[in-house]
């Protein structure tokens, strides 16, 4: 067992775990942060994407103990007030960009740093940036619209107000 300390959404956590515990399982089972979803556990689906020191990474492809000394942001860290969502979350809501919602946290955590680096992306760039996240409801069109809306671009197929 290894004792380590990491910061998640600004809060410090010290826990003692087995080295083989994945960061994704640590977040869900040890910290109760179940917004991070676990799909394929081989890095393909993107549902478990979190921010490690501000960069999007797969939490299923890291061991929890490797987070020692790092700052993690999960989807819970985007907003703690349902009436005051993160602008990207609000855009997802406005554009109906989720159906079952399983892929949504991973997409949000991938797109927050993407939009920070690409404030005015075109549609092709958005679609390429989304290639690391599966939506098996296949509602990609609405997701693209939501990201465009968050970027301040009027989506071509925007949901009517």
Partner 1 sequence: MKPAAFEYIIPESLDHLLQIKAEHGDEAKPLAGGQSLIPAMNFRMARPSLLVDLNRLPELAWLHVKDGELQVGTMTRMAELQHNPTVAAHVPLIAETVPHIAHPQIRNRGSVGGNLAHADPASELPVVAVALGARFRAISASGERWIPAHEFFLGTFTTSLQPQEILLEVTFPTRQDRTGYAFAEVARRHGDYAMAGVVAVVSLNAQGQCDSAQLVYLNAGDSPTPAVTAAAMLIGNSGTPAAITAAAQHASMEEIAPYGNLHASTEFQRHLARHLTQQALKTAFERARAEFLPHP
Residues in contact with partner 1 by the rule CB under 8 A: 2, 18-22, 25, 41-43, 46, 49, 52, 55-58, 60-63, 65-66, 110, 114, 128-129, 131-132
Looking at beta carbons only, is 86 or 127 nearer to partner 1?
127
Looking at beta carbons only, is 18 or 122 nearer to partner 1?
18
CA-nearest of 46, 20, 60 to 102 is 46
* Helix, strand, or coil (residue 56): strand
Order of strands across the sheet with 49-52?
A: 11-17, 2-8, 71-73, 49-52, 55-58
CB 18, min distance to partner 1, A: 7
CB 152, min distance to partner 1, A: 22
CA torsion through residues 37, 130, 67, 53, sign: negative
Looking at beta carbons only, is 40 or 93 nearer to partner 1?
40
């Amino acid at each position: 067992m290894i004792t380590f300390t990491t910061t998640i959404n600004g809060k410090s956590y010290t826990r003692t775990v087995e080295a083989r515990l994945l960061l994704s399982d640590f977040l869900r089972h040890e910290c109760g942060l179940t917004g991070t979803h676990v799909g394929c556990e081989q890095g393909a689906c993107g549902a478990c994407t979190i921010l490690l020191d501000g960069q999007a990474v797969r939490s299923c492809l890291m061991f929890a103990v490797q987070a020692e000394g790092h700052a993690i942001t999960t989807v819970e860290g985007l907003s703690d007030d349902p009436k005051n969502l993160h602008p990207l979350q609000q855009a997802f809501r406005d554009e109906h960009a989720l159906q079952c919602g399983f892929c949504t946290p991973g997409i949000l955590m991938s797109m927050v740093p993407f939009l920070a680096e690409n404030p005015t992306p075109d549609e092709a760039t958005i679609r390429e940036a989304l290639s690391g996240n599966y939506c098996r409801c296949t509602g990609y069109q609405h997701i693209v619209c939501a990201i465009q809306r968050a970027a301040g671009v009027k989506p071509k197929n925007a949901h009517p107000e």
